[in-house]
A and B are shown apart, each in its own frame.
Chain A
Amino acid sequence: MNRLRTLSRMDWAFSFAGLMLVLFIVLPLIATILASNPSEFASGVGDVGVLASLWLTFFAALLATLIALVVGLPLAYLLARRDFPGKNVIQGIIDLPIIIPHTAAGVALLMVFGRRGLLGGPFASLGLYFTENLAGIVVAMLFVSLPLLVDTARESFSRVDPRLEGVARTLGATHWTAFRKVTLPLAWRGIVSGSVLMWARGISEFGAVVILAYNPKTISVLIYERFAGFGLAAALPVTALLLVLALIILVLTRTVLLPRKRKHSRPDSRSRGSRGDPR
C-alpha cells in the first residue's frame, strides 16, 4: 500500500492508459478461449490436420529463423561494428519487409521464386520449386520476419563494448575467436530474443504464405480456410489452441530462456529484447 501511495497523478494516468492497452490485447484472447467450449477445444487439439499444420508451421518458421541466423548475424555484426558507404541504405533495405504489405510481398516473391522467376527459373531446372511446398512457406516467412532478427541482433552487438574485443585481440585472439568467444556470448540474449521474435512472426504470417503455398497448410492458412469455408464455429477451436500455445511459448521464453537475472550485463534493457536505440 505504501508503494501505491507514492504514485503520482501522472503515474496513475499512465497506468490507466497502459492498462487499457493491455486489456486491448488480452480481451480478444480471453473472448476466443471462452467462446470455444472445452469439447470443441479438445477436438481441435486432437485433430490430426491441426497438429500436422502446427508442426509444419513451427518447423518452417524454425528453418526460416536458422537461415536468418546464418546469413543475418554477420550482417547484423557489420551494421553494429563497421562504418561503410551505403550503410543506411542497407539498413533501410533490411527494414523494408516491415512496411511492405504482406500480400504484396507474396506477389513480389512469386516474381523471384516462381517457376519462371529470377531465381525460381534456374532452381526449377534443378527440380527445386518454391510454391505449394515447405520451401515456399520458408521463403515467405523469412522475407517478412527477418528484420526482427537482424535489427535485434544488431542492437545487442552494438551494446557489447568494442574494447572487450580489442582486449581479446591483444591477447592473441583472431578476429574469429574474438567474435566467437567474446562478442557472441555477450550478445546472445539479444540474439535469442530476436530469434524468438522472428520465429513467432513467421508462425503468424498469412498474407505472403497463402500466395506461395495454400497447400501444405500452415496454421494461419488453416484458420483462414476454416473461417472462410466452415464458419466462425469451426475456426474458433484452432484459433484458441494457437493462442494458448503462443502464450505458453511467450511465458517460457520470458521465464526460462531469458530470465530476468542480469549478472553480467550492463544496466540497460538488453535482456528484455528492447529495440530502443542505445546511442
Chain B
Amino acid sequence: MVCVSWLMTGCSGPGSNSETTASDSSAGHKATLRVLFAGSLIIPFAQLEKEFEAGHPTIDVNMEGHGSIQAVRIVGDLDESADLVITADYRLVPLLLYAANNPDTGLPYASWNVVFATNKMVLAYAPHSRFADEVDEQNWPDVIARPGVRVGCSDPRLDANGYRALMTVKLAERVYGRPTLFADIFGGIFRIPIRVSRNGDSDLISVPEVLETKSGSDLVLRPYSVSLLPLLKSGDIDYAFEYESVARQHGLNYLALPAEINLGDTAREEDYAAVTVKLDFQRFTSVKPEFAGEIIRYSATIPSNSSEPEAAAELLAFLLGPEGQRVMAENFQPMIVPVVADNLEAVPEAVKMYCAED
C-alpha cells in the first residue's frame, strides 16, 4: 500500500525468545528492523521478509513500502529512525541523506550507498484496454496519443517511475521519428505546463511545483506507479508506464520498449543522457533536483540512526547474497552483480563481500 504508517517505531526491546541461532544478535535479544523501501519491490520483499525471518528467528522485519522519495524523506526530513532504506533511484540517497545531518549526532543520515538492482520501463495494459488488439512495439506512440486513450503515469514529483516515464516518452520521439510525441501526451493538459527546453544536444524537462491535470484530460496521474494498477484493471486507464518487474508480477499485458528508451540497458547510457528531468521548485533543502537520464539503479543503505545496524547488515547481506538473488529472480526483479558501492570503506563487513568499488 502507498501510505503505510510510519508511526511504527523501529524500537526493539529485550524479547523472551530463548532460541539461539547463528545470527550475530545475542541470544534472548529480539531485533526489530524497520525497512523503508521502494513500492515497486513490494512483492519480492514480502517473500524476502518471510524467508529471512524463517532463518533468523531473533530478527523481526517490518517492511514499509513507499515511493522512493518518500522512503528517503522519512529519515532525512522527518528524522525517523530506520534500519534499511532502499530506493528505486540511488541518487536520492546522496541528495537527501548525505546532505542532511542528524541533529542528535551531527553526522549525516547516511555515508554509503550500494547499487544492487535495475529494471526496465514498459508500457502495461489490460486485455480490455482500447486498441489492445492492435497495439504493438511499433505503433504504441500512435496508439497512446489517440484522443480518448487514457494513459496512466505516476507523479514525477513523488515517484522515480514518474520522471522516468517522462524520459522514456521524450527519448521515444527520436527513436520513433515522432518529434511531437511528448507534447501530444503531456502537452496542454496541465494547468501549469511541463516545459521542455533544448540544451545543446539534450532536452531539459522542467516539472513545475503544481501539477494538476485539466478536467477531461486523457492523462491520469497517481502518486505512485503501483497505484495505477487498480485503474488499469477497472478500465479507467488503458495504458500505464510501469516497471517490467511490476508488470510481470501482476501478470499484466505489456509492451517491452526498445533498449534506447527503456532505461535498462547499460550499453545505452549515452542515449539516456540526452534527456534530463528537473524538479523545478524549492524542495526540502532548497535544491532543485535534476535527474539526468541513465539506467535504473536501485540502491540500499543503512542510515546512521539505525538502532540495529548489525541485524540490518545481515538482512542486506541476505538480500544481496544467493538467497536474495533467487527471491528477486523468482519475482522478475533484475539484480546488478556485483553490487556497486560508492564508499566501500564505510560499508559493513557482512555486506562488503558482495560489493565492488564504484
Contacts and interface: CB of A to CB of B under 8 A. Distances in A.
A49 interface: yes
A93 to B, nearest CB: 23
Contact of B213 (A103, A116, A132, A207): A132
Interface stretch (A21-29, A70-78, A144-152, A212-220): A212-220
Contact of A225 (B1, B223, B227, B283): B223
Contacts of B220: 131-132, 214
A123 interface: no
B69 A228 contact: yes
A229 B234 CA distance: 27
A76 B328 CA distance: 53
A111 B234 contact: yes
B221 interface: yes
Contact of A110 (B67, B158, B230): B230
Contact of A115 (B1, B158, B215, B234): B234
A51 B96 CA distance: 31
Interface stretch (B51-59, B70-78, B329-337): B70-78
A216 B69 CA distance: 23
Main secondary structure of the interface of A (DSSP, over half): helix
A99 B213 CA distance: 33
Contacts of A97: none
A231 B75 CA distance: 12
Contacts of B210: 49
A230 interface: yes
Given A115-B236, A225-B158, A214 B215 contact: no
Most buried by A among B69, B128, B210: B210
Interface residues of A, number: 27
B1 A110 contact: no
A211 interface: yes
Given A217-B212, A231-B284, A115 B157 contact: no
Contacts of A228: 67, 69-70, 73, 158, 223
Nearest to A130: B236
A114 B284 contact: no
Contacts of A103: 1, 3
Interface in A89-124: 103, 107, 110-111, 114-117, 120
Contacts of A120: 234-235
Interface string A172-184: 0000000000000
Given A117-B235, A216-B215, A230-B281, 6 more contacts: A131-B236, A214-B222, A215-B212, A225-B158, A228-B158, A232-B78
30 contacts: A49-B212, A103-B1, A103-B3, A110-B230, A111-B234, A114-B234, A114-B235, A115-B234, A116-B128, A117-B234, A120-B235, A131-B236, A132-B215, A210-B227, A214-B221, A214-B223, A215-B212, A215-B213, A216-B212, A216-B215, A224-B3, A224-B223, A228-B69, A228-B158, A229-B155, A230-B209, A230-B283, A230-B284, A232-B77, A232-B78
Interface of B: 1, 3, 67, 69-70, 73, 77-78, 128, 155, 157-158, 209-210, 212-213, 215, 217, 220-223, 227, 230-231, 234-236, 281, 283-284
Interface of A: 49, 103, 107, 110-111, 114-117, 120, 131-133, 207, 210-211, 214-217, 224-225, 228-232
